[in-house]
Chain A
Amino acid sequence: MARSVRLRGSARTAALLLAALLAALPASAGVAQVRLKLPLKPRLPLRGNERIVLAPFVIATEAEKARDKRLQNVDLQAEFQRFLKKQIEKKTKLEIVPVPPELKLPTQNLSELGRSTEFWRALGVQTGAEILISGSLEFRVEDRSGYKTEEYVSPIDGRTYYRQVYVEQTGFLFDIVFLVFDGHSGEKILQDEFKDFRQTGGRRADELQGLFENLFSLENQILNLFVARDREAERYIFTD
């Protein structure tokens, strides 16, 4: 009996030793998932404290406004300018120069606007701004309601059936094209486009809320024009 107890004790010690040894050895094929914040350099070659002008944007959906009541509820130009101004003031050191009140774009055609070097140079001289921002905005509210197939388990026989249900949804599409001009030469120095689509439940979802959902999801990309931002990513590293 005493021998058996001693043996059991030795076996326990050996097992502990073995466990300690195994722990000390490197785990085979060890992989860990890590989260990175990828530093994104600003897309405009700026010092960071330039004077900039936020000129009006061409509203691509202006013609549809007369027909679409929901677009009439949104002052896209004012809302976007306010959002952009606030973001730039909050998250960059750029100085926003007020736009001359009587300023009108020379054209509503985006390509021609990009080539209006004289207009942009004159605006740069008038305001003393080094960077001029303009472009186009498109905001659409789409009724995405329709029939969708869903699974249904019958409480009577417990079997699975498929049925058609009517789902009310609203889609919000936002598309911005940025045109950035050099205030001294009037030359276009960058053109870029950002798009976002959001879908929410309900046929009568609020259009202003939809617009801001779009804008907040594009915030990082928009700010990355002017300042460094980061983007989250996941990668695998080997631990042995």
Chain B
Amino acid sequence: MKKAALVLGAALVAAGCSSYSRTEKAQTQISFGTAVARRGLWREAAFRFEKAVEKEPNNARAHNNLAVALEAEGEFARALAEYKKALELDPNDTYIRRNYARFAEFYTSYTRTTGKATGGS
């Protein structure tokens, strides 16, 4: 029993380490970004998610999180680009699709009322 538990523990540690070694830095940025985002510190969250995207340009989740943070900062044009990138990388993800649909609804009305695609650089 003891032996089995130890073997299982060692296997989990090894698995954890191997997955972390691949994405350690992007993962760290996403975790930190998520923590600050939950506290409403969206500027810092955007910075962290941007770092995560730099580390892993093909990570759809990082692009999604960055899009949400940019949206919260009022950078709507950039948020649109990030949502599109996230969807391009993972077109079947329900959460990304839902976010994009809600954003698209808002953004359409926003650009209609302001008359131009503002909020982005």
Contact = CB atoms under 8 A, between A and B. Distances in A.
A235 B75 CA distance: 15
Interface in A222-240: 231, 233-240
Contacts of A2: none
A37 B5 CA distance: 48
Interface residues of B, number: 37
A138 B47 CA distance: 47
A234 B34 contact: no
A10 B102 CA distance: 51
Interface string A38-50: 1111010000000
B51 interface: no
A34 interface: yes
Contacts of B113: 43, 192
Contacts of A25: 12, 16
A41 to B, nearest CB: 6
A153 interface: no
Given A24-B16, A231-B106, A240-B30, A11 B71 contact: no
A10 B119 CA distance: 59
A7 B2 contact: yes
B2 A34 contact: no
Contacts of B42: 36
Nearest to A36: B72
Given A21-B16, A236-B99, A239-B30, A38 B2 contact: no
A229 to B, nearest CB: 12
A38 B5 contact: no
A240 B31 contact: yes
Contacts of A125: none
B118 interface: yes
B71 A235 contact: yes
Interface residues of A, number: 33
A32 interface: yes
Interface string B12-38: 110010000000000100110010011
A25 B13 CA distance: 9
Contacts of A24: 16
A43 B5 CA distance: 64
Contacts of B65: 237-238
Nearest to A10: B2
Contacts of A192: 113
A41 B2 contact: no
B27 A26 contact: yes
Contacts of A13: 5
A105 interface: no
Given A10-B2, A14-B2, A238-B95, A38 B31 contact: no
Interface of A: 7, 10-11, 13-15, 17-18, 21-22, 24-26, 31-32, 34, 36-41, 43, 192, 231, 233-240
